[in-house]
């Protein structure tokens, strides 16, 4: 879903400024920076709650769909580390819930 939202924003910018120019360049840079920030916050929230697949999907969108090729090489390793960290969080939260003694 995040990838579709990024694509919708990109298309909206192209419709607003079809000929390009400095305004489109500036708004596109602002849009992409905002999208990257929101996706990074989404990744952090998903990892904190133990949802590794959702966090990895947001990370893939961040590295592939936000207009920078610089982050693409981090995609595979990043997804692996995110899933691993989320799994640790999920195991930790299960242990916390089971710490209550039965009567």
| Residue 92 token pair | 């930790």
* Contact indicator for 83, 99 with CB cutoff of 8 Å: no
Residue range 2-40, pLDDT digits in tens: 889 989 999 999 999 999 899 999 999 999 999 999 999
Q: Quick one: angle between helices 52-64 and 75-97, nearest 10?
A: 160
Distance CA 61, CA 43 (A): 10
- Cβ contacts of 46 within 8 Å, gap of 6 or more: 52, 54, 55, 58, 86
> Residue 72 pLDDT > 70, yes or no?
yes
Confidence (pLDDT) at 99: 53
Residue range 37-64, pLDDT digits in tens: 999 999 999 999 989 999 999 999 988 8
Q: Residue ranges of the domains in the chain? A: 2-97
């Amino acid at each position: 879903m995040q990838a579709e939202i990024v694509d919708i924003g990109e298309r909206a910018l192209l419709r607003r400024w079809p000929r390009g120019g400095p305004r489109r360049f500036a708004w596109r840079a602002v849009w992409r920076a905002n999208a990257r920030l929101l996706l990074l916050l989404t990744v952090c929230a998903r990892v904190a709650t133990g949802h590794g697949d959702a966090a990895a999907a947001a990370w893939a969108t961040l590295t592939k769909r936000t207009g920078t090729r610089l982050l693409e090489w981090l995609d595979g390793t990043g997804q692996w580390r995110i899933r691993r960290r989320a799994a640790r969080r999920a195991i930790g939260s299960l242990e916390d819930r089971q710490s209550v003694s039965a009567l």
